[in-house]
Amino acid sequence: MTPRIRTLALACATAALAAPLLTVPAQASPTPPRTGFEESEGARWTSQPEEQRFLAAVDKASDRVSVSRIGRTKQDRPLQLVRVGAREAATTVLLICSQHGDEPSGREACLSTIRDLAHAKDGRTRDFLRHTTLLVVPTANPDGRAADTRGNSDGVDINRDHLSLATAEARATAAVIRDHRPDVIYDLHEYGATPKYYDKDLFDLWPRNLNTDEAVHKEAQTLSKAYVRPAAEADSYTTGTYGIWTDPVTGEPVKQTAGDGQERILRNMSGIKHAAGLLIESRVDPLTDAEKKDEALNNRRRVASQISALGGLFAYTGERRADLERATGAARVEGFRDRGPVYVGGADNDPAEPAEIIADPPCGYRLTAAQYADIKDELALHGVRVKRQKSGAYVPLRQSARALVPLLLDERAAYRMVTARPDMSC
């Protein structure tokens, strides 16, 4: 990292409850609002009414921030998108916070980050925000957060719905990705430890789906290994690869328990949609006797570790901006060349079987009128280009979303929405 970006990273990685994310002069006015979590010193999580008041106050106080509604849940709670920084910057970063309602630490980190960036006065932050559009969905699962449940009000795991888009929550996220085309999608979660084998302070993982463009995949791994993990480790947090158990003595992998390449998960869909995706997971379980005795202390550590990792994300965005934009920009146009296989299985650490490779993809897929009526809204939310026909619709592969099309429509895809007829006439 350059000294300037390293300084920004270190500022971002400071503990949220002890100091603001970025330097804010003491004389700054008006006084920045605080979350319910901060007001209680970690004794409780920020309530949804408190979140609404907090975001309204930040929006009113800063012209760097705008808050908009991108949907409503089944229980009529608002799904909101917060923009911080330039409206039309070349680099766009999207934070998706607390898709799982019972994993609140990422949400708290997102809320305090919004506030701290909005109120920061130093030149480094101003320069960073001039060149970056930071988009934040502070609570991606409001109904689940209200009930403290993993799923939404129907019990659906939103992070398994980024292909079918059956939930209001996943549909809202898909629309944001389609409309804003983020270069990075950073997905904040928490996990339960299995001591000795799986008990780091933070785990992360990039898109493993084999349809991720090679350069985008490389950028996602660079974000993880050269920025997010070092930033967290500089603050004495331990890090590792999500889903991989390791031998406590040798550090060698023992088995994989999660983190595959299935396309329904946002981490993987991020890569398919040409963004450097990264999943981040903070440890829920207390680490020390003091944390076992004091739940608030444990909660503060969970949130502070997420903020530390965000420092690495911001450092990466500043330092590798040109490389990132080059990778995502090239990936978005590659589909128009319409060449190469499409994978319906496998992962970057699990080679696809022959049956999982569409070696000679069709020119496109033909949908009947009934099929198209069933999924036309989802195709539009994904940004898939469709040609209407009297008999239904034709979905060509020659488009930016080339790899996504077979995952939605091919009979060989495990999570397809419909089985469409392949067109091999080209």
Select from 304, 319, 317, 313 the least CA-distant residue to 235: 304
Note whether 293 and 183 are same-domain residues. Answer: yes
DSSP structure string for 264-288: TSHHHHHHHTT-EEEEEEEE-S--S
- pLDDT at residue 265 in the model: 98
- pLDDT at residue 77 in the model: 98
- pLDDT at residue 399 in the model: 98
- pLDDT at residue 10 in the model: 41
In eight-state DSSP terms, residue 80 is E
**What are 33's two structure tokens?**
């609002």
Note whether 228 and 249 are same-domain residues. Answer: yes
- pLDDT at residue 25 in the model: 38
Note whether 248 and 360 are same-domain residues. Answer: no
Nearest-angstrom CA–CA distance, 372 and 369: 5
Note whether 389 and 322 are same-domain residues. Answer: no
* Identity of the residue numbered 335: G
Note whether 285 and 369 are same-domain residues. Answer: no
**Can you say whether the dihedral through the CA atoms of 123, 126, 130, 133 is positive or negative?**
positive
Q: Which of 330, 363, 398 is the last residue of a domain?
A: 330
Note whether 169 and 114 are same-domain residues. Answer: yes
* Identity of the residue numbered 384: V
Please give the span between the terminal C-alpha atoms of the chain, in angstroms, as a whole number.
48
Q: Which of 264, 295, 330 is the last residue of a domain?
A: 330
**Can you say whether the dihedral through the CA atoms of 78, 79, 83, 84 is positive or negative?**
positive
Note whether 238 and 122 are same-domain residues. Answer: yes
Nearest-angstrom CA–CA distance, 167 and 115: 29
Please state whether beta strands 184-191 and 91-97 pair in parallel, antiparallel, or not at all (unpaired): parallel
Note whether 230 and 362 are same-domain residues. Answer: no
Q: Over the chain (426 residues), what is each successive 10-residue block's mean pLDDT?
A: 43 38 43 96 98 97 96 98 94 98 98 97 93 98 98 98 98 98 98 96 98 98 98 98 96 96 98 98 96 98 98 97 98 98 98 98 98 98 97 97 98 98 93
Note whether 309 and 353 are same-domain residues. Answer: no
- pLDDT at residue 21 in the model: 40
Number of domain units in the chain: 2
CATH number at residue 322: 3.40.630.10
Phi, psi of 66 (to 5 degrees): -140, 145
Note whether 50 and 133 are same-domain residues. Answer: yes
Computed on alpha carbons and rounded to an integer, the radius of gyration of the chain in Å comes to 21
Nearest-angstrom CA–CA distance, 51 and 49: 5
Q: Which of 330, 350, 371 is the last residue of a domain?
A: 330
Three-state secondary structure call for residue 200 = coil
- pLDDT at residue 426 in the model: 82
- pLDDT at residue 14 in the model: 36
Note whether 304 and 376 are same-domain residues. Answer: no
* Identity of the residue numbered 80: Q
What is the residue range of 274's domain?
3-330
Print the SS3 string covering 100-159.
CCCCCHHHHHHHHHHHHHHHCCCHHHHHHHHCEEEEEECCCCHHHHHHCCCCCCCCCCHH
Note whether 152 and 194 are same-domain residues. Answer: yes
